[in-house]
Structure 1
Amino acid sequence: MPFDEWMVGNLTDSSRSCSPEDKWNILFTVICWMLWKTRCSNIFNNSNGRFWDVVAEARRLRDECVSDAPTGGVVAGVNDGQGVSVKERWKLPMHGRVKVNVDGAVRGPSKVASIGGVFRDSNGSWILGFARNIGSCTALMAELWAAHDALVLAWERGFRYVDVETDNKTSAAILNIEIVILLENDLVQRLRKLVLQDWSLSVKFIHREANMVADKLASLAQSRHLCEMVFGSPPSEVVSLLAADTA
């Protein structure tokens, strides 16, 4: 069989597996991405990624993709079949993992920018948050700075099983090394080095409705004129949003 036919078959046929629950086309896609990511990490970071670790992580990500797929309208703007539009909600990370939501905010003609993020555990409990003003920049660069600060904090605090969520599709694609724009940008180069460190890291795009705490923290940096702040406990402005996420 020609290689291109073999590849297309694996990417489109969900039944190419011993078990129908495998969702083979999804699993195959994730394995290919994980193998590439592991290869890059082995080459550039001298890490020692192993094949069986790749398969286990690919199955976890496959399960997450399947569970997050819109069934009955779980994504913002999707009809639930009864004429009701259901908004996307924040979801708990899997046991043993930390979820980090990040956001950037740019205001006014001078493009005053700020960033914020929140770390939560598998119970939805607050671990820490951060916020700071970053001067003037574009919305995309603000989103990337938010991701950068989150990854640096996560690594420094010893978290090695991390799920990052952002409501900016381009930022998520850059972090997932799905698009090769801004390669000469110093921040993007820093981000790629962080992403390829020896940890279990996933980056996912979500809608704004599932990112309200990070959004508020980014806004808070501007209203409080914060240079840099790490919050060990949640600021009063986000308490109700945290409760709504886990209600």
Structure 2
Amino acid sequence: MDGSALANPGRAGVRGLLRDISSLWISGFSLSMGITTNNMAKLGVVCQGLMMAWDLGFKFIQLELDFVIVLSWLTATTENFLLDVFPLICNCRSLIERAWVVQACHVYYEANECANALAKRGNYQQQLLTIYNT
């Protein structure tokens, strides 16, 4: 997705899940972010997912993102970001730079039906954050 989505805010429900090395479920979450852009929502899910992984004590993380632009914001060395996304980028980068290994990579949206289903729940849930342990 290109940066044009930044100009079109809408209601955002984001999702994330933690799986082990064999792709077995560990935990998941859906997060209602209210009215925001797609890119802000993706950054929000990255922050929430990394915080959960850290709190659960994981030390080796493969962060999979389906938005190339957000992936580049987290991995590029440039500091030329839009002001509205800059604080979230800084939060995500500070989480990534903790004492653990985080490898970020791109995956296609269609490759993760489970996370997509959780996102739909996030659009309509009443509470800000819901964690799914099973």
Q: Which category of TM-score, normalised to the shorter sequence, fits these structures? A: 0.7 to 0.9
Equivalent residue number for residue 99 of structure 2: 198
Task: Return the TM-score normalized by structure 2.
Answer: 0.84
Query: In the TM superposition, what whole-angstrom CA distance separates every residue of 1:4-38 from its partner, at most 9, and x where no partner exists?
Result: xxxxxxxxxxxxxxxxxxxxxxxxxxxxxxxxxxx
For residues 77 and 31 of structure 2, the distance between their equivalents in structure 1, rounded to whole angstroms, comes to 28
Residue 118 (structure 2) pairs with residue 217 (structure 1): yes
- Where structure 2 has 5 or more consecutive residues not aligned to the other structure, the ranges are none
Equivalent residue number for residue 17 of structure 2: 118
The structure 2 residue matched to 1:145, chosen from 32, 44, 62, is 44
**CA RMSD of the aligned region, Å?**
2.0
Q: Residue 179 and residue 132 in structure 1: after superposition, are their counterparts in 2 closer, same or farther (change >3 A)?
A: same
Instruction: Give the percent of matched residue pairs that are identical in Structure 1 and Structure 2.
Output: 25
Q: Residue 226 and residue 160 in structure 1: after superposition, are their counterparts in 2 closer, same or farther (change >3 A)?
A: same
Alignment length, in residue pairs? 126
Equivalent residue number for residue 55 of structure 1: none
Deviation at 1:225, TM superposition (A): 3.4
For residues 77 and 116 of structure 2, the distance between their equivalents in structure 1, rounded to whole angstroms, comes to 24
Contact 1:116 1:131 in 2 (8 A): yes
Contact 1:112 1:137 in 2 (8 A): yes
Task: Return the TM-score normalized by structure 1.
Answer: 0.47
Query: In the TM superposition, what whole-angstrom CA distance separates every residue of 1:119-141 from its partner, at most 9, and x where no partner exists?
Result: 11122211000111011111111
Contact 1:166 1:211 in 2 (8 A): no
Contact 1:148 1:191 in 2 (8 A): yes
Equivalent residue number for residue 74 of structure 2: 175
Letter in 2 for 1:191: C
Letter in 2 for 1:135: G
Larger Rg, first or second structure (1 or 2): 1
Matches within 5 A, 1:1-247: 111-182=10-81, 185-233=86-134
Letter in 1 for 2:111: A
Deviation at 1:210, TM superposition (A): 1.3
Equivalent residue number for residue 97 of structure 1: none
Letter in 1 for 2:74: L
Secondary structure of the 2:120 match is helix
Query: In the TM superposition, what whole-angstrom CA distance separates every residue of 1:162-217 from its partner, at most 9, and x where no partner exists?
Result: 00101100111112235534275211111111111111110111111212221221
